[in-house]
Amino acid sequence: MDIIVISDPEEVTNEAFILNALFEHGLEAFHLRKPTYTKAETETLIEAIEPQYRNRVVLHHRYPLAMDYGLKGIHFTGNFIKNCFPKLEDWYQEAKQYKMTVSASKHQLAELKALEVAYDYVFLSPIFDSISKVGYKSNFVDLENVVDYRGYTKIVALGGITVDKIGQLKQMKFDGAAVLGTIWQAPDKAVQTFMALKAAWEKEDQIF
């Protein structure tokens, strides 16, 4: 696990073309998060992704489509956990029957001690001030302690992540980094940005 890309919540021009290019350049996990999309709109985007790459897509909404299209996994958002808790275990079990990943969003380190199910990984955010959400500030002052929580699940950093932050995340022993604003603030440079992030993550000798 290294760099995960999350979709812009809104429609992006030439989005499917960009996604296929990202996959071609090594993107292993793409989180499709379009909360306002209808089922038909979600399907249209999934179908525009080349079939050989669909097993790298994780859905944040409309979970049955993950099974229909043989996607990588499903992701439980904070709202889903809060409002649909009775259904959570059922969706977890169904996803696991299809050998899918199940992940979730968390916003406090303490939450990692009481996970609802055995997630494959969780997003912890916002680690740094968000790029995509104006005014969404980091609420972490104890990031040096992330390593103490890795026994509960894999932890993926989210929020305000740029190339120059990768070394810091690796030093803190995060298992991966998820990016949204860094990629989609300049869609025409998405592939270059992703490649730079990936190269920084894979660099063996980080200088801090």
- pLDDT tens for residues 129-151? 766 666 666 666 566 778 888 88
C-alpha 22: how far from chain center: 14
At the topology level, CATH places domain 3-201 in TIM Barrel (3.20.20)
Q: Which of 67-81, 141-155, 188-202 has the lowest mean pLDDT?
A: 141-155
What pLDDT digit, counting tens, does each position of 168-181 carry?
899 888 999 999 99
- Residue 174: what pLDDT? 93
Q: What is the DSSP string of 105-146?
A: EE-SGGGGGS-SS--SEEEE--SS--SSSTT-----S-GGGG
- Residue 63 and residue 90: Cα distance in Å, rounded? 12
Buried b (16+ CB within 10 A) or exposed e, 29-67: bbbbbbeebeeeebeebbeebeeebbebbbbbbbbebbe
- Residue 52 and residue 54: Cα distance in Å, rounded? 6
- Residue 208: what pLDDT? 47
- Residue 171: what pLDDT? 87
pLDDT band at 60 (very low <50, low <70, confident <90, very high): very high
The token duo for 65 is 């489509």
SS3 at position 73: strand
Is the Cβ–Cβ distance between 197 and 6 less than 8 Å?
A: no
- Count the helix, strand and coil residues of the chain and give each as a percent rounded to the nearest 5: 45, 15, 40
- Residue 203: what pLDDT? 87
Helix (H) or strand (E) holding 58: strand 57-59
- Residue 147: what pLDDT? 81
Cis peptide bond prior to 126, omega within 30° of 0: yes
pLDDT tops 90 at residue 200: yes
Domain boundaries, the chain: 3-201
What pLDDT digit, counting tens, does each position of 6-45 carry?
999 999 999 999 999 999 999 999 999 999 999 999 999 9
The pTM assigned to this predicted structure is 0.93
